Amino acid sequence: MLAAPVRRARRMFVRLTVVAVLGAGFSLAPSAALVPSAIAVENASGEVSVSIFPTSGAPVSDSQEVAVTVSLVNDSQKATAAGQVVVTTGSDLLGDAVALNDWLAKSDGKKKPGQWLGVLNAPALAVGAHAVITARLPLTNAYYGSSWGPRGLAADLEVGGTSAGTGRGVLIWATPGAPPAAHLVTLLPVISPPSASGLLSSEELSVLTSAEGLLTSQLALATGRNVTLAVDPRIIASIDALGEKAPAAAQSWLARLAALPNESFALAYADADIALQAQAGATALATPGFADQPQLVVPATPSPTASPVPDASANPNASPSVPTAVWSPMLTGIAWPAENSIVATDLSVIAPVRTQFLVLSSSNVAAGANSPALTSVGSQRTLITNFELSRALQATGSAVDDVHWMANVSLASAYLATTALNPNTQGDAIAALSRESLGDVSDARIGEALDRLNDLSWVDGGTLGKVISSASAPSTTVVDQPESEARVTIAQRLLENRDALARFSSVVETPALVTDASTRQELALFSVAWTSSKSWPLAVDAHLAQTSKTLSSIRVVPSSEIQMVGGQVNIPITIENTLTVPVTIVVHATPSNGRISVDSDATITVQGEAQAKALVPVKARLSNGSVVLSVSLISPTGVPIGSSVTLPVNVRADWESWGLGGLGVLFAALLIAGVVRTVRKRHDASAADALAADVRAGTHADVRG
């Protein structure tokens, strides 16, 4: 039996205008099409998902009834019988985003909170069925008072006296004394779907910039609307790299981008996830290079500063530099990591590279939902996007029908109302569109939602330049929101791969000719767009395999047994280089035994896609026989290149020649010794004869005397 207030509500005048029941075959997108914590109940408990919102989204006053729409989706596992929806409302002003979040999250724990507005008949629902009920309800019992702003709506589906699902929504109570309008700044990513291409191919650009292409759709959303463009520099570089060979559609698209008056800034190259790089262990963020693309003109890298106001002459981004074609952004020095991905230690890696302003979600900082649009995290000035507003606006693009679209427009308008009311926000609200669900949203529907929001009396268009130039930046801190362990593990493999290639590139006079293309591909694999893609690990594996092939591009060509004849020879070793650029390599050989010794290493330059012979000087030592020569390659800076190769050597030292030479030397020595002996004998005989003559002469003298 219903309580007395419910019976009274039944007697209230309720004019039911539409009841539409869609059969069980109706296909409904997942609850992510709504804002799960706000619009509909997640169905883990098997309940029917219920949502409620003002039908027109327009504000209401005490002289009006309120037109409400209730959506029922039976995504449980069993059919439900016919029942009734009890509609109630909260009287209290939801004056800031925290209060609004609490209401939508049902923090009060009540199924029928606040005042009763009416009871609506609900049809039976087969599994998968969707019913939409619209009705006009009087606000006699609302008791909203005189304060302008959001008030809560609630709907409870009862079947057989038991609650089968509840939902919450919001309306705007319009009274005199409305606050100044909130300034809505919308960040629109201009990016391509996940791809491992360091430079987009002509075929990719043709598809993306075609009449139905994603990039064309993004520009259509920006045209005539006050949105700030966050552009992936890879798109510009790709068109520039193709030059006159770029598809006509891509060239036309670039011209339209350059002609737009919208504020803009450059994302990291390929919209690489800078938080993921930092958490994977990078001590510095990777920057793209174009040494292998001589047709591109890369500007000098300026210091990492940001333009506080739009400046059409500004360089495309503080760092890294990218080629400039027709387009360059108005704002510089802005870094935008993936939503809810930053931990405090990331800032020391990110800040030195390109950042005067960091863009973080309100759920990634301690200030939370009521954070102003510009804050300071330590010494880092930080732009704060409104997480809930962003999700509601994004959901308008994935809404399966007008009902779900309007539910999210209504929710977005409520968050903008809290921005207008809350003095801490300074009236600025930044909404960020998703960089992950590309292709799953309708940019046209998001554009319609922006038009509807900007038509509201409490909303006007803001600019990021104005937010940046604000003198006030209250301090807050990072609430750590680390990347998933699985993503970090895969990212670490990419960083290890980067380091290995950097070491290998020392064989080239200009290492960037080897590393730049790979670095661009790596940045593409770090793209935020890969975050929810199940194919990301496979794409990473393919890139690692490609790098492994590069690391094996210089090798020693195996040979048959080398015949070494003689005591000292130069052994020829063939080196193959499959890179397109010349390499300088040091050839080091080590014998397996003492039959030979290697005098020194051999240094050789091998042209691109060619072979050359290095001559390694060796000496034979003691005997003939077999030796295994282990040959390894080293870069001029001492980095091992590739794997060592063993070459068999048969030593024929030619000791017979050495022996004959030795005998010859011995014979010569004996001959010389004989000559010396003969000379000495003759000299001794001559001396004896002289002495005898002297003796005889002396004797004769004595006799005469």
Residue 33 has a pLDDT of 30
How is residue 485 written in tokens?
Answer: 């362990």
Summarize pLDDT for 121-176 with one digit per residue, the tens. Answer: 999 999 999 999 999 999 988 999 999 999 999 999 999 999 999 999 999 999 98
Residue 681 has pLDDT above 70, yes or no: no
Q: What residues contact 211, with CB distance under 8 A and at least 6 apart?
A: none
How is residue 171 written in tokens?
Answer: 């309306």
Helix (H) or strand (E) segment spanning residue 353? helix 347-354
Q: How confident is the model at residue 677 (pLDDT cuts 50, 70, 90)?
A: confident
Q: Which residue has the tokens 């981008």?
A: 257
Contact 234, 208 (CB under 8 A): no
What is the distance of C-alpha 140 from the center of its chain? Answer: 54
Average pLDDT over residues 549-556: 96
Which one, of 72, 110, 62, lies nearest residue 90 by Cα? 110
Summarize pLDDT for 500-537 with one digit per residue, the tens. Answer: 999 999 999 999 999 999 999 999 999 999 998 999 99
Residue 655 has a pLDDT of 52
- Give the SS3 label for residue 168: strand
How does DSSP classify residue 80?
A: B
Tell if the pTM clears 0.85, that is, is over it.
Answer: no
Length of the chain: 705
